[in-house]
């Protein structure tokens, strides 16, 4: 492991006012999104869509890294240029999703655990040769009266830490993503308690596995009420409670916290990020975004598989990225929509 190499990558990704575009949807997930706009999911249509995203003019002003899916990392644009080279030419760092999905964790009431450690070290060698400089692993936690269980929290936290340690040995920056799902009717207070417990456990395991905090990025959920909760929190409440949990659990040595959107609308995820920066001007870490749908949704709806719609779809992505960049300074306003 070269700590200097890891720090260099983190420094590029954590540039102030820039965030990460998560374009790492699995083939199954992107097929569902394409079906919603009546586009068949094929290797070419997936390539065309992601090429449209990656070639957006001026995207690097607001996006410092893009997470690829395994298929995308080896794809080439229509003119034969590797998609990885398009990013590198525009000073955007390529990354790769390395987990292989979820399965039921034995001994629990249907809770999930993430797979993908088998053969990870060997895969990372190949991914790095192909141009990836950072990776992502997602663990998920459901909230109910009795979930997440101690077993689910501890198992997933340990797997996140093992993944991160393996990445750092390969010279690849790990994004550690413990996602607290919005599904359910839990209150924001319940989400806060769960998020705090999960993050404490994750950092405990990161320490035990000798993960260098300066060479990683945290990708957490925001603290929100469940989507079916009858009382939804205000933007101010979400921002305040999220910051409170982060200050209690995330060491200052972590260079960057890049939130996932987790099913929030494009506008709401931007509002929450903006409010955090308004509440706290000076933070121990860079606080930014790593959004998927919250960045892509407007573009996808415009694109609809039609080449003639590409310029308008790219304009929508550029605008969404710029608004989130402004939110990283607390300078976003609703009238900008």
Q: Say which of 18, 177, 275, 322 is annotated catalytic.
A: 177
Rounded distance between C-alpha atoms, residue 150 and residue 165, angstroms: 22
- Confidence at residue 301, expressed as pLDDT on a 0 to 100 scale: 96
- Confidence at residue 69, expressed as pLDDT on a 0 to 100 scale: 96
177 is catalytic: yes
Instruction: State the total domains in the chain.
Output: 1
Q: Which residues of 102-129 are buried (b: 16+ CB within 10 A; e: fewer)?
A: eeebeebeebbbbebeeebeebbeebbe
- Confidence at residue 60, expressed as pLDDT on a 0 to 100 scale: 98
Domain extent for 12: 3-336
DSSP for residue 192: H
- Confidence at residue 213, expressed as pLDDT on a 0 to 100 scale: 98
- Confidence at residue 281, expressed as pLDDT on a 0 to 100 scale: 83
Q: Say which of 18, 97, 219, 322 is annotated catalytic.
A: 219
Rounded distance between C-alpha atoms, residue 64 and residue 268, angstroms: 22
Q: Which residues of the chain have pLDDT under 70?
A: 1
What is the model's pTM? 0.97
CATH number at residue 30: 3.20.20.70
219 is catalytic: yes
Q: Which two tokens stand for residue 279?
A: 């509440």
Q: In sequence order, what are the residues at sequence separation of 6 or more whose Cβ sits closer than 8 angstroms to the Cβ of residue 282? A: none
Residue 261's nearest CA partner among 201, 177, 202, 200 is 177
- Confidence at residue 2, expressed as pLDDT on a 0 to 100 scale: 82
Decide if 195 contacts 223 (C-beta within 8 A).
yes
Pairing label, strands 134-141, 112-114:
unpaired
């Amino acid at each position: 492991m070269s700590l200097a190499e890891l720090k260099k990558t983190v420094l590029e990704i954590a540039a102030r006012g820039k965030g990460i575009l998560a374009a790492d949807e699995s083939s199954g997930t992107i097929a569902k999104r394409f079906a919603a706009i009546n586009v068949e999911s094929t290797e070419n249509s997936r390539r065309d869509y992601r090429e449209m995203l990656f070639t957006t003019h001026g995207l690097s002003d607001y996006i410092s890294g893009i997470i690829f899916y395994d298929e995308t990392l080896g794809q080439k644009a229509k003119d034969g240029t590797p998609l990885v080279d398009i990013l590198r030419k525009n000073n955007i760092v390529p990354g790769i999703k390395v987990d292989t999905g979820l399965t039921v964790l034995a001994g629990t009431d249907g809770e999930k655990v993430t797979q993908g450690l088998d053969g990870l070290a060997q895969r990372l060698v190949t991914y790095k040769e192909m141009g990836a400089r950072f990776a992502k692993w997602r663990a998920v936690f459901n909230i109910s009266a009795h979930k997440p269980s101690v077993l689910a929290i501890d198992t997933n936290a340990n797997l996140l830490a093992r993944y991160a340690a393996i990445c750092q040995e390969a010279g690849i920056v790990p994004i550690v993503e413990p996602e607290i799902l919005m599904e359910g009717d839990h209150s924001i207070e319940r989400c806060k308690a769960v998020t705090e417990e999960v993050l404490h456990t994750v950092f405990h395991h990161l320490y035990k596995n000798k993960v260098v905090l300066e060479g990683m990025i945290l990708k957490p959920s925001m603290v929100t009420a469940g989507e079916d909760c009858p009382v939804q929190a205000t933007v101010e409440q979400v921002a305040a409670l999220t910051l409170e949990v982060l200050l209690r659990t995330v060491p200052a040595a972590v260079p960057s916290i890049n939130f996932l959107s987790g099913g929030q609308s494009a506008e709401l995820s931007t509002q929450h990020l903006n409010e955090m920066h308004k509440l706290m001007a000076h933070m121990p870490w860079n606080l930014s975004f790593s959004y998927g749908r919250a960045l892509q949704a407007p573009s996808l709806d415009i694109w609809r598989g039609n080449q003639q719609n590409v310029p308008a779809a790219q304009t929508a992505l550029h605008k969404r990225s710029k608004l989130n960049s402004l939110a990283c300074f607390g300078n976003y306003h609703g009238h900008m929509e």
